[in-house]
A and B are shown apart, each in its own frame.
Chain A
């Protein structure tokens, strides 16, 4: 269905091609997962399928990409609309109209589909994706998972043969991600749509994939059976790492398959407990009582009590819109807080001036780039030093500890997602707050960047700070947090140690916990530590 024939893509000003002589064929009805670290050319490859690369993005494409026998060089991307449906990373940014129904019809209107057929297809698509009850809703009021399904629906109505998805689940909570993936697999199995999907969160998707294309980063691509590619690939979901550790063959890709072969491992681990040193919980740094945040009629946080202790990493979980962000902003004081008290060393950060409250609590927002507005990394650092009255060079030193070697003259926009987060974090840490709040820092990070973030967070905590991380990433939580707070409808519904909270919940349990239940193992590293070298190498 899709053929890459000796394809190389070079962007202007780049020393080496992003994709280098790629040859591969994706057959009809395949669900193909594209993986690789940030910047290895995943988006380029996706864009090449309908000709957005190079028609829209610029750059030079050698070789030929054909879809259903039509070369992308022969016509502009819009002439592929009936053949290829593209759903971008941020569905909201791609919406043209403002209600669900109109959005579903938009593509067909462009293709001049007769009105009667349009009406029929809209109804069918609403049912297929389970969004019929949303048909008149404004798109902006939908939750992330709903938006993603509408975005998929809006390209499906044109009956494309190929669906291209860029990170369809990365911004979603675990349950919403399941909904979206269920819809996608249904399309593949029932309608024979060919799907090419890029996703950082492989643990969610890999079990559904027929084929895996791995971009190692040197411009080449390896394609093959997922289990085969994952045996050696540089990035792998926890389930695969556990499989590699235990020497399972073939590698199981779903929790079900893994449980079936995990019997011996469970027996081996029986009687041992994870060697977690319980975090030395220090004195209380922040006391919040009866915090209320509301936006007009909508109550985002309903009278929440929360204590944060020195040296602890607290994860805050819950579905999109459950009040996580509002609580973080309310605690900080920069966001609205209508009721309740927050006490940090006898002060309420909301009542202090901006530069004073910054010394008590630091918050990195969901889009770290909001904090950055100067022309270069050096400028940002100098600005941060001035704003927090720190000695010149403080911010730069912090940044070098987090990510060594960011060039001084680099523009913040040209940094990768992970680097930008690090810069924003360094800017906030310059004021030396003892309470650090991170709002969805794991969004858009690949496995390596997440591992780095984990190390940073643990170091910051070990230095006597308290860290709160709002996130959907259960694997990150399992490996990083001491304590998990689950929110729903503005209230805290669960609060306890990570093991307690996470292993008991079907939605929030990491893969290792699901495979090794009922034993309380959460991460591959914990299992590795518990096994003796000989056992591990069996």
Chain B
């Protein structure tokens, strides 16, 4: 049991499942109380279980982005038609529009109902976004790409390389910009752009050629050759599987589609895609250094998120009123016990999984 609590980084997929579970839960409700509860849970877990790595620090960015979404939604309601309902808060001078723009209203009366509607909607979207941000903060995105099935390995490493190119590119831009000041060039517009873009692109091209040569000499893509036929079969399996999954997911999320398009379709899609992955993966000969293992803690984290999603699904069929509080008539949103408990279950990983290993701390030893 002591070994369980040793600091380590969980399998990235565990945190992603947890976060997606909460995001799904958030998608089922516009109740601000419940959404605030989900947000608090997410933030609390992130603060307790994130490492001090650079990607973890980016969580703050997601929070500000979330706030921005809510504000934008409200502002949007004020500008275009905030007139639904009868609790008029204030009245702005309305800008008359020509006849062909009928149905669009600029400014005018702003009601409490439409403002609240905008805020609820924005809050839901923001919460879902922040859930994704939480997954990013808790799990190293590169580790996630590393643990993709070996069939996708080559594509995965291409993405990893592309991602690491960005900081280099930014560095080049800064360097060349400084050099331009040395030359005292006073060019503006397209010529100035050229003066920065050409050295930066040349630099990037040089660097990628050198990287390609280095990867080649270190054995990237070794004996991964597929025969044409096998490749076609694998491709067909993967595409069919993905289509099946898409249709299935749509069916699950949209309650009005026929049921046979939901669960069964999803299951069939997953099965076909898995076969395709397996068929492609068999031919890739490589191993992984210190792979992330799927242990009990991963099960706990992923499970808590999924339970939260299931509970909100269940309660939406039992008592939908409090999940989507009424605006007309305006009512104070109430929270039922069941969804609240469901969301609070997702809080458990803050204590029940081992803390993250802090890379920087160890580096400073």
Q: A79-B222, A81-B222, A93-B210 are in contact. Are A109 and B289 (CB under 8 A)?
A: yes
Residues in B with CB closer than 8 Å to A93 are 206-207, 210-211, 214
Please tell me if B161 contacts chain A, counting CB pairs below 8 Å: yes
Interface flags for B167-206 (1: CB within 8 Å of A; 0: not) read 1000000011011011111100000001110110011001
Partner of A427, one of B183, B207, B220, B359: B183
A98 B142 Cβ-Cβ under 8 A: yes
Give the interface segment out of A113-121, A256-264, A305-313, A528-536.
Answer: A113-121
Q: A334-B182, A365-B179 are in contact. Are A373 and B217 (CB under 8 A)?
A: no
B219 A118 Cβ-Cβ under 8 A: no
Q: How far is the CA of A87 from the CA of B360 in the complex (A)?
A: 27
Q: A329-B178, A354-B184, A354-B186 are in contact. Are A155 and B287 (CB under 8 A)?
A: no
Interface size range on B against A: 35 or more
Partner of B287, one of A113, A369, A383: A113
Partner of A78, one of B181, B220, B290: B220
A158 B211 Cβ-Cβ under 8 A: no
B289 A80 Cβ-Cβ under 8 A: no
Q: A369-B199, A387-B186 are in contact. Are A111 and B217 (CB under 8 A)?
A: no
A80 B181 Cβ-Cβ under 8 A: no
Please tell me if B286 contacts chain A, counting CB pairs below 8 Å: yes
Closest to B176 in A: A370
Partner of A363, one of B157, B182, B217, B222: B182
Residues in A with CB closer than 8 Å to B195 are 373
Which of B199, B289, B290 is packed against the most chain A CB atoms within 10 Å? Answer: B289
Residues in B with CB closer than 8 Å to A503 are none
B211 A94 Cβ-Cβ under 8 A: yes
Please tell me if A428 contacts chain B, counting CB pairs below 8 Å: yes
Please tell me if B215 contacts chain A, counting CB pairs below 8 Å: yes
Residues in A with CB closer than 8 Å to B196 are 373
Q: A136-B359, A387-B186 are in contact. Are A370 and B175 (CB under 8 A)?
A: yes
Please tell me if A493 contacts chain B, counting CB pairs below 8 Å: no
Q: How far is the CA of A52 from the CA of B219 in the complex (A)?
A: 12
Q: How far is the CA of A88 from the CA of B214 in the complex (A)?
A: 8
Closest to B153 in A: A109
Q: Smallest Cβ distance from A228 to chain B, in angstroms?
A: 32
B363 A137 Cβ-Cβ under 8 A: yes
Residues in B with CB closer than 8 Å to A165 are none
Q: A136-B359, A371-B179, A413-B202 are in contact. Are A52 and B220 (CB under 8 A)?
A: no
B214 A358 Cβ-Cβ under 8 A: no
Interface flags for A96-120 (1: CB within 8 Å of B; 0: not) read 1111011001111111111100110
Q: How far is the CA of A94 from the CA of B213 in the complex (A)?
A: 8
A373 B289 Cβ-Cβ under 8 A: no
Closest to B289 in A: A105
A81 B179 Cβ-Cβ under 8 A: no
Residues in B with CB closer than 8 Å to A81 are 217-219, 222
Partner of A108, one of B207, B287, B365: B287
Please tell me if A302 contacts chain B, counting CB pairs below 8 Å: no
Q: A56-B216, A106-B218 are in contact. Are A140 and B167 (CB under 8 A)?
A: yes
Interface size range on A against B: 35 or more
Q: How far is the CA of A107 from the CA of B287 in the complex (A)?
A: 10
Partner of A118, one of B157, B194, B207, B287: B287
- B-side binding surface: helix, strand, loop or mixed? helix
Q: How far is the CA of A369 from the CA of B210 in the complex (A)?
A: 17
Within 8 A of A (CB), among B22-79: none
Q: A76-B216, A86-B214, A373-B194 are in contact. Are A112 and B286 (CB under 8 A)?
A: yes
Q: How far is the CA of A343 from the CA of B161 in the complex (A)?
A: 46
B194 A96 Cβ-Cβ under 8 A: no
Please tell me if B164 contacts chain A, counting CB pairs below 8 Å: yes
Interface flags for A136-159 (1: CB within 8 Å of B; 0: not) read 110010000000000000110010
Which of B160, B167, B199, B219 is packed against the most chain A CB atoms within 10 Å? Answer: B219
A388 B184 Cβ-Cβ under 8 A: yes
Please tell me if B318 contacts chain A, counting CB pairs below 8 Å: no
Residues in B with CB closer than 8 Å to A134 are 363
Residues in A with CB closer than 8 Å to B360 are 136
Q: How far is the CA of A82 from the CA of B218 in the complex (A)?
A: 8
Please tell me if A332 contacts chain B, counting CB pairs below 8 Å: yes
Q: How far is the CA of A97 from the CA of B163 in the complex (A)?
A: 11
Within 8 A of A (CB), among B264-297: 285-291
Residues in A with CB closer than 8 Å to B214 are 86, 88, 93-96
Residues in B with CB closer than 8 Å to A373 are 194-196, 198-199
A112 B285 Cβ-Cβ under 8 A: yes
Please tell me if A355 contacts chain B, counting CB pairs below 8 Å: yes
Q: How far is the CA of A370 from the CA of B365 in the complex (A)?
A: 38
Please tell me if A205 contacts chain B, counting CB pairs below 8 Å: no
Residues in A with CB closer than 8 Å to B289 are 101-102, 105-106, 108-109, 115, 118-119, 122
Q: A118-B287, A335-B178, A354-B181 are in contact. Are A84 and B215 (CB under 8 A)?
A: no
Within 8 A of B (CB), among A381-414: 383-384, 387-388, 413
Residues in B with CB closer than 8 Å to A365 are 175, 178-179, 182
Closest to A106 in B: B218
Closest to B197 in A: A373
Please tell me if B221 contacts chain A, counting CB pairs below 8 Å: yes
Please tell me if A372 contacts chain B, counting CB pairs below 8 Å: yes
Q: How far is the CA of A362 from the CA of B290 in the complex (A)?
A: 51
Partner of A52, one of B185, B217, B221: B217
Residues in B with CB closer than 8 Å to A136 are 359-360, 362-363
Q: Smallest Cβ distance from B77 to chain A, in angstroms?
A: 40
Q: Smallest Cβ distance from B169 to chain A, in angstroms?
A: 13
Which of A93, A102, A329 is packed against the most chain B CB atoms within 10 Å? Answer: A93
Residues in B with CB closer than 8 Å to A36 are none
B218 A355 Cβ-Cβ under 8 A: no
Residues in B with CB closer than 8 Å to A80 are 217
Q: How far is the CA of A142 from the CA of B312 in the complex (A)?
A: 49
Q: How far is the CA of A134 from the CA of B202 in the complex (A)?
A: 32
A78 B176 Cβ-Cβ under 8 A: no
Closest to B291 in A: A115
Q: How far is the CA of A384 from the CA of B291 in the complex (A)?
A: 55
Residues in A with CB closer than 8 Å to B220 are 78, 96, 110
Q: Smallest Cβ distance from B223 to chain A, in angstroms?
A: 8
Q: Smallest Cβ distance from B217 to chain A, in angstroms?
A: 4
Residues in B with CB closer than 8 Å to A180 are none
A90 B210 Cβ-Cβ under 8 A: yes
Closest to A102 in B: B289
Residues in B with CB closer than 8 Å to A118 are 287, 289-290
Residues in A with CB closer than 8 Å to B142 are 98
Which of B362, B363, B365 is packed against the most chain A CB atoms within 10 Å? Answer: B363
Q: Smallest Cβ distance from A118 to chain B, in angstroms?
A: 5
Closest to B161 in A: A96
Please tell me if A31 contacts chain B, counting CB pairs below 8 Å: no
Q: A98-B142, A357-B184, A373-B195 are in contact. Are A111 and B219 (CB under 8 A)?
A: yes
New A-B contacts (12) at CB < 8 Å, excluding given A112-B285, A118-B287, A371-B179: A52-B213, A85-B217, A95-B214, A96-B160, A96-B220, A110-B218, A110-B220, A115-B287, A115-B291, A358-B183, A365-B175, A369-B199
Minimum-distance CB pairs A-B, first 5: A81-B219, A94-B214, A105-B289, A110-B219, A370-B179
Question: Can you give 25 contacting A-B residue pairs, CB < 8 Å?
Answer: A78-B217, A78-B219, A81-B218, A90-B210, A93-B206, A94-B213, A98-B164, A99-B359, A109-B289, A111-B286, A112-B286, A118-B289, A118-B290, A133-B365, A158-B219, A334-B181, A353-B184, A354-B184, A365-B179, A365-B182, A369-B203, A372-B199, A384-B183, A427-B183, A428-B182
